[in-house]
A and B are shown apart, each in its own frame.
Chain A
Amino acid sequence: MKDAASGTRQLPHSRLVRSVILAVATGVAAGVAVPAGLERRYTIAFANANEEPGVSVEGTGFSGAEIRQSFVLAARTLPIDLVFYDNHRDDARAVANAEAAIARKVDLYVQYHHGSSANATVAQKLKAAGIPLLAVNEAVSGAPLYSLDNMAAGRIAGDTLGQFATRTWPGQPVAAVVIGRVSTNGDRVRGVTDGLRKRLPNARVSTLETQGNPSQVAPLLSPLLASQPTSKVLIAATDDATALAAKSAVDSAGRARDVAIVGHGVDRSIHGGANDRKELDPNNRASIVLGSVAFYLDRMGYDVLPIAMRMLRGENVPARTATSHKLITPANVFAEYPPYDMN
């Protein structure tokens, strides 16, 4: 059901939700208040995209295990019991996982899988079983969606670089490059270009494809730097490992004074705690890595589970909720990611 006026989607209630509403209504009718602490517990299934060790997700440095852990941590303060599945980037497995969750009679299913055909099958089976579905990072017909906003993230990176160039190098020739997994991150690349051109309308933006291999950064970037001996160079890296590799290549070329870099992700390779100094650190404010755009995949559970709770309580939820991407710099990294390696 869709509420045309609000643009939000009213989800069909599961049998269990109806039972809860009936029980609450009965209690209210009998003059019995239901204390918040006595809310029933729900079983929510999270079918993760892929938890294969060493495999990163969404073109960032985050792993599926970090996403799973964010659900575990976020559930601590909610009346939720979690059941985990690993879709393993496999359509058949994604469908089998949904079937297992249906047999287990979970209250809600969170599907994170890139595969439209399997997702449609999963949605159909869950609907038949009366189990609400919440989709993550890939739209599924009839289900609310929580997802990254790659365009918005790219715009933040591009705008940051453009702003830096206009402030630091006014009137000087500037070249811009997006480097990393560019072919599979089209929205991110377009966002960077949009953001840059807002500040530098005539900026030339080229791309360098590394296929996610940081060791390819220097061989690709060094010739570009050499071809721009008198230009300043703005580098948007599609992930943090690429940003760090780019910095290394720039240092090796002796061009640190001519370059600014912004990454995407804010994974643990680029920020650390109070003691394990990393590139984004309050004491490293002069770095040519201006910052990185946060994707918060290590906090996804904190965003997704409250939406799931609203669905289970029969409340309206937006058709799409996007990650609130933000530029993380040495000036705000400890506010955004408080270190806990001190006591």
Chain B
Amino acid sequence: MFRTALIFALASMALASAPVAFAQSDCKSVVKPSPFGPNDQTGATNRVTPAVTKAAAAEIQTGKVTNMSYPLVDGVPLFGSRFTKTVLTATSLAPGASFGDNQLTYMEDTWLSQSHVGTHLDGMGHIGIKDCYYNQTPMGKFINQNNMTKLGLENLKSFATRGVIIDMVKVYQDAGKLKTNTACKKACIDKGTVISVADLQAGLKMYNVTLREGDMVMIHTGWGDLFEQFPAQNALYNSGEPGIGKEAANWLAGQKVVAVGTDNWAVEVIPSENPKEAFPVHAILLTDNGIHIMENVRTDLIAAEAASSKRATFFVNMTVPKAVGLTGNFVAIDAIQ
């Protein structure tokens, strides 16, 4: 009797102490298996093979470099409690604080920030359905209070691949369907506009581009114009955005691209096509297909370059820190043509 009661008490304690947040789902029924094998933690950068990089290098013809990143500085659009704050340490500049006969001085920074700010990349650990993440990973088993122990950025391979800019603003202008937002100083597509497969195909056709496996697709919506106006238009920028819908996300996944980036904060249309769904494009690209999402990408310069040179392809110069266990990080991107 006592033994039974003890077992019952212990079992009750075990149940009571199981954190609800770590409840395990049957991830095989929730998330698609990875096309790169059951143990893969890398995702779509598996597609950036030496052959892909070599072919992408052929895009470098003039050597012209176009910036695709926004400044990372206090005051850019962020949500809610997110913040960035830099603190400069410059103590050795004080009189008498320099080092040695040669009077060497130094400075460094403390940088306090969430990782998903500014021009940044979403890693495999950013988005899941329930507790199921990329490659059917039951993420509850692989997190601690500091980071993830699986699917971190350290698992990514190179992004030395071909980039393709799709100028949606020009597509919409040419089709006579551009509904702009008056707050944009340059032409932009208004928030809530769903970018379709047909729109993407029209943008590719404009510069005679056919997507290849391992491409990084960048979509210019013009919405980034509001980012550039920070902090004046931060609230409007965050209130919604034009972006791809689910159909277009599935189509891009079928093209086996490595990443999709835009000059907005979520790549996908906000508000969503279905108001009861949360970030469905994120789940399609990241969770189901291991394809990275890149947000707040500066696309206007390369779009203008494409319009001028009639070349919408370029070599991507971008690296991601080997940040162990992180879900994403800010990046700097150059387009080299």
Contact = CB atoms under 8 A, between A and B. Distances in A.
Interface of A: 72-73, 76-77, 273-276, 299, 302, 334-343
Most chain B CB inside 10 Å of its own CB: which residue of A275, A338, A343: A343
B266 A341 contact: no
Given A76-B192, A341-B80, A343-B265, A336 B116 contact: no
Interface string B177-218: 000000000000000111000000000000000000000000
Contacts of B265: 343
B277 interface: yes
A77 B80 contact: no
Contact of B275 (A73, A276, A342, A343): A73
A334 to B, nearest CB: 8
A277 to B, nearest CB: 9
Per CB-CB distance, the 8 closest pairs between chain A and chain B, nearest first, are A275-B80, A338-B278, A343-B266, A343-B265, A341-B79, A76-B194, A77-B273, A340-B270
B16 to A, nearest CB: 18
A343 B295 contact: yes
Nearest to A336: B276
Contacts of B266: 340, 343
A275 B275 contact: no
Contact of B192 (A73, A275, A334): A73
B309 interface: no
Given A73-B192, A341-B238, A302 B275 contact: yes
Given A73-B192, A77-B194, A342 B79 contact: yes
Nearest to B238: A341
Contact of A339 (B277, B278, B295): B278
A342 B277 CA distance: 14
A276 B81 CA distance: 9
A72 B191 CA distance: 12
Contacts of A336: 276
B271 interface: yes
Contacts of B223: none
Contacts of B275: 73, 299, 302, 337-338
Given A76-B193, A275-B80, A340-B272, 17 more contacts: A76-B194, A76-B273, A77-B194, A77-B245, A274-B79, A276-B80, A302-B275, A335-B276, A338-B275, A338-B278, A338-B279, A340-B266, A340-B270, A341-B79, A342-B79, A342-B80, A343-B79
30 contacts: A72-B192, A73-B271, A76-B194, A76-B273, A77-B194, A77-B273, A273-B80, A275-B79, A275-B80, A275-B81, A302-B275, A334-B278, A335-B276, A338-B272, A338-B275, A338-B276, A338-B279, A340-B266, A340-B270, A340-B278, A340-B279, A341-B79, A341-B80, A341-B238, A342-B79, A342-B80, A343-B116, A343-B265, A343-B266, A343-B295
Nearest to B194: A76
Contacts of A337: 275
